[in-house]
Each structure stands twice: as C-alpha cells, then as structure tokens.
Structure 1
C-alpha cells in the first residue's frame, strides 16, 4: 500500500493507443485512487458505451490486479470489490477495488480491529478460490471456497469497506460442510447455498438456508427431484420466491439442465423452456437484470462457450444476446459478472477468467432489456440534478416510474407515447435480433457438423488408403509365393526325370551284371570255392 509521500500519477492506457490520445491522471494515496481531473473525464468509463448488447473492452487506470479466475466480486456504493481467486494453482487473498466513477483500480490492505460485538472475532481471511461474495447493506459477506488449510464447516465472513476489516460472524444452527464451487443466492433476507464440491472432491446437491436477521442455519427437506450433485453452476432468484439453478458439472460431464425451487413449497421442478437449447457448461457466471438472467462464459469438456445467453425467468425463453470471437474474458471460465447502473442504464461488468490464459481485463455490456422488479422498491441514486426517479411495485412483474419536477401534463403524455413507440420498436428489434442470433447459432452448428463430417471423411480416406496399401502388399506377396511354387514344381519335374534316368541306368547295370556272372559260372570243371581249398 502506498503512503501519501509515495503518491505518483498513473495514466490510463489502452491497447494500440497513440501518443495523441488524451490520458487520464489519478494519484495513488493510502491504497486509494484519487482523481485529479474533472468529473466529466472520470465518468467516461461506462457512459462512453453507446451500443446495446455488445461486449466492449473498457480502459482502466491504476495498478492492474494480478490475472485470476474463480474469484468473486460484489458492488457496494459505486465500487466493485474483487477478492481472492486462483493464478497458476496459487490461491490469492488480496482485495482489489474498481471505482466506477473514476474507473481506476486500487488495492486495499486489511486493517486489524480490536472491537467485536456480534462477531466471533476479526481475522485476515485466508487466500481462497471458488467462494462467493454477497453485498449486504454497506458490507460484503464472504462464504465458502477452497483454501490451503482444511476446514470442517462453512463459516460466514464479513468485510467492512469503511474500516477495511474482515470479521467472522457468529452463526447458529448446523453449519453446512466446507465446500467450493457452490452457488450462494440472496433471496429476500436469506442466503441459499446449494451444491458445490466438498472435501475429497465429493460432489454435493444439498440445500442450506441462512437467515440473515437471526444468523441461523437451516437445512430444509425438499420435495420433487433436486438437481444432481454438481459444482461450478449458476443460480438466481426470481420474484423473491423462486430459486433457479442452471448448468454446472461433475467430474466427468457438464450439464445444461434448468431446475426451479419454489421457496414457499420447497418443491423442485424442471420447467419446460423455449427458444434455443443452451450448450452444456460449467464455470459460467450469471447476473440478473429484472426478470432477465444473463449467463456468460463457462466451458465443457470440448471447448469454451462464446455466446452470452439470457433467460426470461417469467416465460423460460432462452435467447442469445451476443457472441465474442477468440478468447475474450466474458467467454472464459471462472470470470466474475456484476450489475451496475449508470444514468438509468443497466451495465454488466465482467472481470478476469481463464481461457488458455489468465485475464485481468474489464469488459462491459449495456443491456437493452430494462429492469423490472417483481416486488419491493428500488431506490436509484441521482445521476443528474434535474430529476429523481423512484420505482414501486404495481404487480408481481410490473413497475411504475414516477417522474417528479415535470411541469406540463401534455409533455408527459407525449413522452409516454414516444416511450411506448420506442419500446415497441425496441421489442421488434430485439425479436429480429433474437431470430438472427438463432439463425447464426444454427448456421454455426451446421458448419461445425459439416466440419466434423469432412474430418470423418478425411479419416476414412486415410483408412481406405491404408487398406489399399496393405492389399497391394498382400498381392505382391501372393505373386512371389506363386512364383516360388512354380519354381519348386519345375525342380520337382526335373528330379522325377533324373530318378527315371537313374532307374533305367540301374536296370541296365543289373542286366549287364547278370549276363557276366552267368557266363563265368557255367564253365566245366569249376568247383568254386571248395576247389581252391581242397
């Protein structure tokens, strides 16, 4: 952490920037980025994005965090806090802060704290990955995650950005077992923990609920068929009642299934979805904009998933928002995704991830799908000095916008009419874009199938050439054998002729021997052997 006397200017840098481009200058003081330029310049980050539903690389200033994945991020008071993660197999324990006003990074140093009331004590949280960060008021809750040291149960940590201190909250009831890669979803005043990977790489599909008012853990028995054990999935809450779980993976496969849990009846179901069929994936990130659930990144056993999907949680219709070529961070595994509002616009902000390399880049997407809150009230901070906007529930899915300090009722009617027409045009545009995205996705799939067929054809051609070569070799070998057999037959015939000649000669010799022996034995007076010995 830099001290005041170590303050130094840091310039914004963008890839392939030229010397003529104007740089922003900030000063690092006590670990925080302090702006030295006017607000018009420092607020350009997200406001400079004009196109909807497209991922845009965003320039940032300050010392860049170490590239990482499987970290966690949360937004509190116009700042995104990033904690932990993994880099080259090493767990990280730093806290990085991205100020959305100045779009500058700074690193926070955890401070010791001596007083604790509802806490079991203060701590410097151990480096970890696969955990979850949940904003709660002006503080941040951290749950679960894998770390070097073994732990038996899941503890709840709290980070106070004002004092830069970690604390362990005292919880009651039976705490869940330690795990990483689980989902932690805020549903009303409760945190719902589902699944993950426990000790010994055991996959889980248990459900635990933490009441944040009483800090009490409960493990509920559910009805219906729960999702199979999994980790690295995504979960979201709809209408403060329904928990949705999508995707994830086991040790051998990835999933593309969608599950729904009614938190009132505690019953699992499999809703029938419409639109496109999502590809299996694990390690993806999710964020909700009203009733729309955005899913980015992740991968399966074969490849990463480049398309950004959105699920309308009220109709269960899947559609493709956009896609990215190459290995940009929003398409990678283990990136973080948060929602931030600027001037009434909804921005998705993606950071980090792994897609063959570790990333520390920031990407943003301005959503054309507007927020609609099923119940409750949203208080947005004023983004200009002209008006303040409040939203209150009109129905389970409707929102009424009251605009103050307008002077003319006719102007309101004309604005409403224009807004209605604009929304209708945007709706038609979104439908056309969705159809176009579906056609592009189908075309991409057909191209992939064609490529697979061509690859198979090449493999079969190679096999055919190999068989032909083997057949030619066998034909040559058979020809040699035939020639050898013919030579042997000729030699056999010669041997037979020689044997006949030899037999004739032997017969002739025997005949000559008989003639000579008969003539000598018939002479008179011969007594043979007895004569010479008589």
Structure 2
C-alpha cells in the first residue's frame, strides 16, 4: 500500500481486514474508548489502560493515514464541571458513548474518577476546540457505563449498562437533542435481561436492535428488537450461522447490514466478524482471525467511513490480554439492499392472526364452491349466523386478552426470577471467593496453633522436670554448705597450729 495514495482503500480486498500502515507515532493503546468518523477523520476519545482512565483526544486522518492529537480549551462559563474539566483538560473517561450532532462530538455516560449520580453529557466543538458540559433536563437517568447509545433523528435512545454500584440495567431513556430533555420510556412485552457491553443499531428509522452483552456471570448471543413506534419488545430468532456469546464487541450498520467485530467472554476473544441482515434477520460470518489477534478483543471500537464511492469500516484499540493501538480497515462488499422489513411485535402478530381468523369466519362466500365442499366434508356443520359468529369472536377476543395478561404476568415473573437468580449467582461467586480466602487463613491459623501446641508441650515437660531440678539444686546447696563449713573448720585449725612454717622454725 502506498502511503501517499489517498485511494489506498481501493487496494483492499472486499470484506477482509487489513492493518493500515501509520506514519508517525501511534496513540497509547487502550480499550473501552469511544470512536466515530466525521468527514474523513476518525476521532478517538478516552478509554482505559492498566486500570487508569484516559482523557486524550486522538485524530486519525483517513487521507494520509496519520495520527494527531487535539488539545481542548474549557468554556469559560463552564462552572458545572466537578471532575477535572476546569483544569483545562477533558475529564478522563471510560465506557462512554460518542455521537456527532451539528458538527460537534457529544459524549454520554461513562466512568470518571468523580462521576456524579446522573448521566453527564459533554460536547467537543471541533471548530473552536472547546469542550464543556451540556445542561440537560427532565428525568435524567442514573450514571452508568457499558450502555448503548443510538441516534435516530434529533433524539438519542440509551439502553442498559451498569451503574456505579455494579447494578445491571435494562431501562430505556430518550434524550431530545433539540430541547435537551431526558425522558424515561415505558415499554411492553419482555425486555432484554439487564446487561452491559452489548451492541445496538437502528433499522429503518423505527427498530432498535440489541445484540449480545453480559451480566456478571452470563454472556449473551441473543437478539432483541424494540419497535420505537409502539415501544414493544420482541425477540426474533436469527437464521444462518451460529454466533458465539460475546460482550465488549462493536457494531456499525451499513445499508441495512449490521457488521459486528470483536468481543469475548473473559476466556477468549470472538474470532469472527459477523454481519446481520436486519431485514432478513439472517446472520453470516464475514471473515475470521486467529486467536490473540487485535480484532478478537473486548472494548474495541468500529466506525464506518465513506471514502469516494466506497464504504470502509475502521477499527481501533481493544484488549485481549494485551492492549492494542492498531488501525484495521475493511472494504464493504456491495450487497443487495432489501426494503426494510416491518417487524411485527408478538401482540401485533397475535392481533393479525385474530383478525384473519375472524375475517375468514365472517366471509365464507369468499371461498369458491369446491373449497366449500372440501371444507364441509372435513368439518362438522355449525350454525354460522352472524349473531353467533360475532358472539364467538367476542368470546375469543376476551379469552385472548385474558391469555395475554396471564402471559405478560408470567413473563414478568420469569424475568424477575432470572434477575434474582443472576444476583444470587453473582453473590454466590463472591461468597465462594471469600470462603476460599477464609479457608486459606484458617489453614494458616491451624498451622500456627499446631506450632504453639508443640511449644506448650515442651514447656510442660520443662515444668514437670522442675521439682527434680529443685531437689538437685537443694542437694548441691547442702553440699556447698557442708564444704564451706569444713573449710572454715580447717582454717581455724590451721590458725591454732601456727601452720607448717611455724612448726619447722621451732
């Protein structure tokens, strides 16, 4: 690949990842950062490395394949910042989301060293290189990380994540970018189980797709769809290749095809880059990499760039036992783009089936004569008067409503039970770790107690031998006393006799 060729992407093979040669110094490796493309530049902000949050903003020029960094100025009237922005730098952040709005970068949620209780929204003005806090109103959601943020028109829809206390979430909030007002959304049917580090995408300006993610103990490969007109959840089955559960993956939709790369399950990275045809609800593997490849990383980012007439996917960063800072590109293969499929929710599908049945009962004349004969030969004749049919339809509708209510209650109970089970499993895992630690301490204490007991036994033996020692000491004392008495007696005798020299002199 020629470095100064601005059409380098034409040298790429379709739907094969290629590492891009980079001129100059690469930014520090990281994961759980935020990245997006604006024009012909890839903007990367923040992330985490070795447990430390990052605050830098890096720019990758897709024309000359060079990195550069941006130094920001904080707005002078930004007196609401409490986490370091006043010091002249964007706050170090990890696990956040980033979108483009009116030529500015908006960053939502994520973790900082001094995170508040609610979701923060910040902006970066790429013309003036200023940053600041966007004041929002309404029902502001609780602070979190690992959420998904998806833009549709002038609104942002946020789903799930994990709050500062590691509580898992599956709530839905919408931010109106025009009024800067948050609102909580009430949904129907069964929502996805609480999760974080999932992927989300918008289809046909109506459907929010949620794929994968994890709880504290379970990794998912399920697909959930939220109809943004009816706010009903559904869980369609994907056709095609089997996809391994994953979290920390990244996805981007191009012409109704949702490309997903990276992720993992804390044991190994996901090797396959997959594409989900959002109209057909079919999944297929685009390409695969070997283990420990940077593309098989958690916390990786992906963005789509329009270069000439080509759509090119750009990935950066990630972690799979090693932090990465490589840039990879994939040239999207033109695919047949189908008309967006209208995805019926369970309630809508049931209602449609009910209407079809009622219509068939109420309009027997629509069947031709041969069909009538065939049906009459197979069923028992019944009174099909309009009055009876209407009564039967009303009865079926009432039964249907009762069944739907029962189903909704059972589904809600099941969801609550699953949540409790996940919490219990999480608590069990933590308690198991504590038990292992206590058992290790107990083994050490038992060893120490055994040593003490051995020392005590030796001391007891010494104590038991003390009486005999005392008797020996007493006997020695008596011997000493007798010896001293004999010596005194001998001295007296010596003095009386005058000694040997006196005797010799005489």
Deviation at 1:46, TM superposition (A): 2.5
Gaps of 5+ in 1: 1-13, 15-21, 25-40, 376-394, 397-534
| 8 Å Cα contact 1:329-1:363 kept in structure 2 | no
| 8 Å Cα contact 2:106-2:121 kept in structure 1 | yes
Correspondence for 1:498? none
Correspondence for 2:475? none
Match of 1:69 among 31, 36, 43: 31
Q: Hey, what's the Cα distance between the residues in 1 that align with 2:338 and 2:155?
A: 18
Report the 3-state secondary structure (helix = DSSP H, G, I; strand = E; otherwise coil) of the residue aligned with 1:258: strand
Correspondence for 2:55? 93
Correspondence for 2:270? 305
Correspondence for 2:6? 43
Gaps of 5+ in 2: 343-506
Match of 1:223 among 165, 177, 188: 188
Structure number with higher helix proportion? 2
Match of 1:84 among 46, 59, 77: 46
Match of 1:327 among 257, 281, 292: 292
1:270 aligns with 2:235: yes
Q: Hey, what's the Cα distance between the residues in 1 that align with 2:157 and 2:33?
A: 19
| 8 Å Cα contact 2:40-2:307 kept in structure 1 | no
Correspondence for 2:22? 60
Deviation at 1:120, TM superposition (A): 6.3
Q: Hey, what's the Cα distance between the residues in 1 that align with 2:193 and 2:128?
A: 41
Q: Hey, what's the Cα distance between the residues in 2 that align with 1:374 and 1:290?
A: 10
Q: Hey, what's the Cα distance between the residues in 2 that align with 1:365 and 1:57?
A: 9
1:133 aligns with 2:98: yes
Report the 3-state secondary structure (helix = DSSP H, G, I; strand = E; otherwise coil) of the residue aligned with 2:144: coil
Deviation at 1:137, TM superposition (A): 2.7
Q: Hey, what's the Cα distance between the residues in 1 that align with 2:296 and 2:221?
A: 16
Report the 3-state secondary structure (helix = DSSP H, G, I; strand = E; otherwise coil) of the residue aligned with 2:35: strand
Q: Write the mapping of 1:64-463 to structure 2, written as runs, cut at 5 A.
A: 64-114=26-76, 124-370=89-335
Report the 3-state secondary structure (helix = DSSP H, G, I; strand = E; otherwise coil) of the residue aligned with 1:92: strand
Instruction: Give the TM-score normalised by structure 1.
Output: 0.61
Instruction: Give the TM-score normalised by structure 2.
Output: 0.64
Q: Hey, what's the Cα distance between the residues in 2 that align with 1:322 and 1:233?
A: 21
Q: Hey, what's the Cα distance between the residues in 1 that align with 2:267 and 2:291?
A: 15
| 8 Å Cα contact 2:268-2:320 kept in structure 1 | no
| 8 Å Cα contact 1:77-1:138 kept in structure 2 | no
Deviates more, 1:223-232 or 1:165-174: 165-174
| 8 Å Cα contact 1:304-1:331 kept in structure 2 | yes
Report the 3-state secondary structure (helix = DSSP H, G, I; strand = E; otherwise coil) of the residue aligned with 1:46: helix
CA distances 1:403-462 after superposition (whole Å, capped 9, x unpaired): xxxxxxxxxxxxxxxxxxxxxxxxxxxxxxxxxxxxxxxxxxxxxxxxxxxxxxxxxxxx
CA distances 1:4-47 after superposition (whole Å, capped 9, x unpaired): xxxxxxxxxx9xxxxxxx8x5xxxxxxxxxxxxxxxx2514423
Report the 3-state secondary structure (helix = DSSP H, G, I; strand = E; otherwise coil) of the residue aligned with 1:47: helix
Report the 3-state secondary structure (helix = DSSP H, G, I; strand = E; otherwise coil) of the residue aligned with 2:213: coil
Q: Hey, what's the Cα distance between the residues in 2 that align with 1:373 and 1:104?
A: 37
| 8 Å Cα contact 2:269-2:291 kept in structure 1 | no
